[in-house]
Amino acid sequence: MRQIFDELELRMGHRFDDPELLRTALTHKSYAHQYGVESYERLEFLGDAILGFIIAQELYLDEKFPEGMATRIRATLVCEDTLAELSRELNINKYVRLGTSAEYGGERERKSILADMFEAHVAALYLEVGMEETRKYVLSVYGNRLSKATDGNFVDTDYKSRLQEKLQSKLGNVVYDVLSEVGPVHNCEFTIAAVINGHRLGVGVSNSKKQAQQNAAHEALKKISVVEKTIIDRGEKPDIQHILEELFKS
């Protein structure tokens, strides 16, 4: 087992004085329950905060982004899709310790688990070497993703934030209702609706709850855009209240 983790430590550029930290970071709850050890979940909680801070600090130091845009860039850089992609680049899926049922259920390639494991292994490194070395590692792993975002090539896929910003807080917060969950736990398909003040704005489907929410928000934004254009074509002012009234009538 140590030899397997040697490969990951080499990729990380650090050999752990406490190898149990890294083992725990890569231990799924199914393995933990099966063998009576600790899972990655507490480390994932810490890693989420550390990663968010590192990316937020880099965006803050860049100085050219207003708070709203920086928030959306950070959300995209630490979203499930990005973290799972980073995990695959590091071959973290190779090192994950899974229980028997989870292994046969295909959990090794599940996006949400890969994202969680990435956060957990960042936390493990932080507990070993502190923030500055962890920051250097995280930025090296991200490579040109951060520079692309800060050089004007950012594609804003944080549709939830964009939708809430579009609707304005005075109209209330968007809530995301789960309409259905279909399939086995390891590959469940979620259908989720974006709702404001009891009105359904959009529906999204995905094997990840977070992505289903983003898809619902994306659909809502597309509907709002169509109505907004119609109102403008009529020569009227497309304020958000007017847009929603038109949308809810259709």
Q: Hey, which residues are catalytic here?
A: 48, 119
Cα 210 from Cα 80, distance rounded (Å): 8
Helix segments in 96-198, DSSP class H: 100-104, 111-129, 131-142, 144-148, 159-167
Element housing 52 (H / E) = helix 41-62
Cα 123 from Cα 134, distance rounded (Å): 9
With tokens 């890294």, the residue in question is 22
DSSP code of residue 36: T
Cα 13 from Cα 2, distance rounded (Å): 16
Among 93, 132, 89, 115, which Cα is nearest to 211's?
115
With tokens 């990655």, the residue in question is 40
Amino acid symbol at 1? M
Radius of gyration of the chain (CA): 21
Exposure of 78 in the CB half-sphere (CA atoms within 13 A): 22
Cα 239 from Cα 85, distance rounded (Å): 39
Look at residue 106 and give its three-state secondary structure: coil
